[in-house]
Structure 1
Amino acid sequence: MIKYNKLVRDKIPDIIKNDGRTAAYYTLLEEEYRIELDKKLNEEVNEYQIDKNLEEMADILEVLYGICKARGFTVEELEAKRKEKALLRGNFDNRVFLEFAEDEYKTNDETGSTFF
């Protein structure tokens, strides 16, 4: 028996059953779900860092979609925010690597984060 104790995709219990094996699982409460989604994001990013392949990128995106929904946003809102930020700050197409900037910088009043 292997203990996993982690969030898995919805069809995993059926896949295990169809393989002739048994599994114990349950449905998480909302707050537990959000916590486990955050853990899952870290897991998937770590897997991507090792493999650097399209499958791992797709897993990251699926978890991000789950986080978005669990936090009360739609995937469309997420994409709109991505586009808004791309228009305001650009994206990463030009491979710009910032070496340094003056010590004082402006922050985004709404989020408190820096502009980069």
Structure 2
Amino acid sequence: MNGTVIHRKLVRDLIPDIVTAKGGTAVTRVMEPDEYRAALHTKLAEEAEELLAAAPGEKLGELADLLEVLQALATVAGHTLDEVIGAAAAKSAKRGGFGGRIWLEETQD
């Protein structure tokens, strides 16, 4: 039986080493910048879906995965995670956060 599994997705940097350490072989390549950016967007959606499906005890790990993708996206966009956090704080100061659990039904002019 052939043990080949096709993945064709962005993975964390150490995954090939982990596969090799377990006696497997990982066929990899380094993506071009535009391809990498697109793969990060795909990974963001994948990790968000995993967070939604995660059991309560798995939420922290899934949140960490989302944060890792956000950090990579920030870097690709020319920002640091600290800059993103600062921008989020400024936006929160101006427009509020989500802690109030407010659901907007409708507005009228």
**What TM-score comes out, normalization by structure 1 length?**
0.85
CA separation in 2, counterparts of 1:49 and 1:73? 27
How much identity, in percent, do the aligned residues show? 38
5+ residue gaps, structure 1: 105-116
Tell whether 2:101 aligns with 1:95: yes
* Counterpart Cα distance in 1 of 2:87 and 2:51: 24
How far the C-alpha of 1:9 sits from its partner, in A, is: 0.2
| 2: CA distance, partners of 1:9 / 1:47 | 16
Residue identity matched to 2:71: Y
Aligned residues: 103
RMSD, aligned CA: 1.0
2:87 pairs with one of 68, 81, 103: 81
Quick check: 1:6 aligned with 2:2? no
Higher helix share: 2
Q: Partners of 2:42 and 2:99 in 1: how far apart?
A: 29
List structure 1 segments (4+ residues) > 6 angstroms apart after TM superposition: none
Find the aligned partners of 2:39 and 2:99 in 1 and give their Cα distance: 32
> Which whole-Å CA distance do the structure 2 matches of 1:75 and 1:55 have between them?
18
Question: 1:45 is matched with which residue?
Answer: 48
Counterpart CA distance in 1 for 2:98 and 2:47 is 21
1:47-80, CA deviations, whole angstroms, 9 ceiling, x for partnerless residues?
A: 1111151111110111000001011111121011
Distance 2:77 2:92 in 1: 22
CA distance in 2, matches of 1:70, 1:3: 26
SS at match of 1:97: coil
Q: 1:65 aligns to what?
A: 71
The residue type equivalent to 2:48 in the other structure is V
Q: Does 1:24 align with 2:27?
A: yes
Q: Which amino acid aligns with 2:34?
A: E
Q: Secondary structure at the match of 2:5?
A: coil
The separation in 2 between residues aligned to 1:23 and 1:74, in whole angstroms, is 30
